[in-house]
């Protein structure tokens, strides 16, 4: 009977993820604690695919499907962004992140947590109340670093990574949200 309960919970979570996909933009659905960082990574010319802040937070826009991994995947940097990419990788490393090749056309910047969730959880909940602190600080540090980088273009678009995957994998269950276009001057 437990399997049915888990399946029901899964389908409820999937339904919530796919609710109002025609009304919400991808930017609204990015974890709020990492949203500005994703904005800046796109602003400097890297096209993001997926991201997660790695922790639960009050008023989450969408249910988490994983915790304790803070990351942003982005597509292979385009021509003209190589110097920015090298600088980004070096400076990200300096504030606790690691940039590495993920697949043929993807890179990932992942937070290296220094004390892997050593806080106590006496209340039966898997997450301790302080688990979010290190990733939240790391997100703010990297955001501060790259917010000073010049924009590649005056406008840019954030596209939901689910869109490209659904084109090739018919059974992909998460529906893409609408793209979000930014004018750099208006967004500041």
The CATH number assigned to the domain holding 63 equals 3.30.1960
Residue 16 in any domain: the answer is no
Q: Please state which of the ranges 21-30, 41-50, 113-122 shows the lowest mean pLDDT.
A: 113-122
* Average pLDDT value for residue range 180-187: 86
Residue 13 in any domain: the answer is no
Q: For residue range 134-150, what is the model confidence (pLDDT) as tens digits?
A: 899 999 999 999 999 99
Residue 30 in any domain: the answer is yes
Domain that holds residue 98: 21-116+125-187
Please tell me the predicted confidence (pLDDT) of residue 36: 97
Residue 57 in any domain: the answer is yes
Number of structural domains found in the chain: 1
Integer Cα distance of 19 and 62 in angstroms: 10
* Average pLDDT value for residue range 160-185: 93
Residue 146 in any domain: the answer is yes
Q: Distance of CA 117 to CAs 68, 95, 125, Å? A: 8, 19, 13
pTM for the whole structure: 0.89
Residue 53 in any domain: the answer is yes
């Amino acid at each position: 009977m437990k399997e049915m309960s888990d399946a029901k919970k899964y389908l409820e979570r999937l339904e919530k993820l796919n609710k109002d996909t025609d009304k919400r933009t991808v930017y609204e659905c990015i974890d709020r604690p990492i949203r500005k960082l994703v904005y800046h990574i796109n602003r400097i010319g890297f096209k993001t695919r997926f991201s997660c802040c790695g922790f639960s937070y009050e008023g989450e826009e969408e249910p988490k499907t994983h915790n304790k991994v803070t990351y942003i995947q982005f597509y292979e940097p385009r021509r003209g962004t190589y110097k920015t990419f090298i600088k980004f990788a070096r400076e990200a490393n300096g504030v606790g992140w690691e940039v590495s090749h993920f697949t043929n056309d993807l890179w990932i910047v992942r937070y290296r947590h220094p004390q892997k969730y050593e806080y106590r959880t006496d209340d039966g909940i898997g997450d301790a109340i302080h688990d979010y602190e290190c990733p939240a600080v790391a997100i703010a540090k990297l955001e501060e670093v790259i917010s000073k980088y010049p924009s590649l273009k005056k406008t840019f678009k954030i596209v939901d990574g689910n869109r490209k995957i659904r084109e090739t994998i018919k059974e992909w269950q998460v529906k893409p949200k609408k793209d979000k276009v930014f004018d750099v001057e208006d967004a500041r």
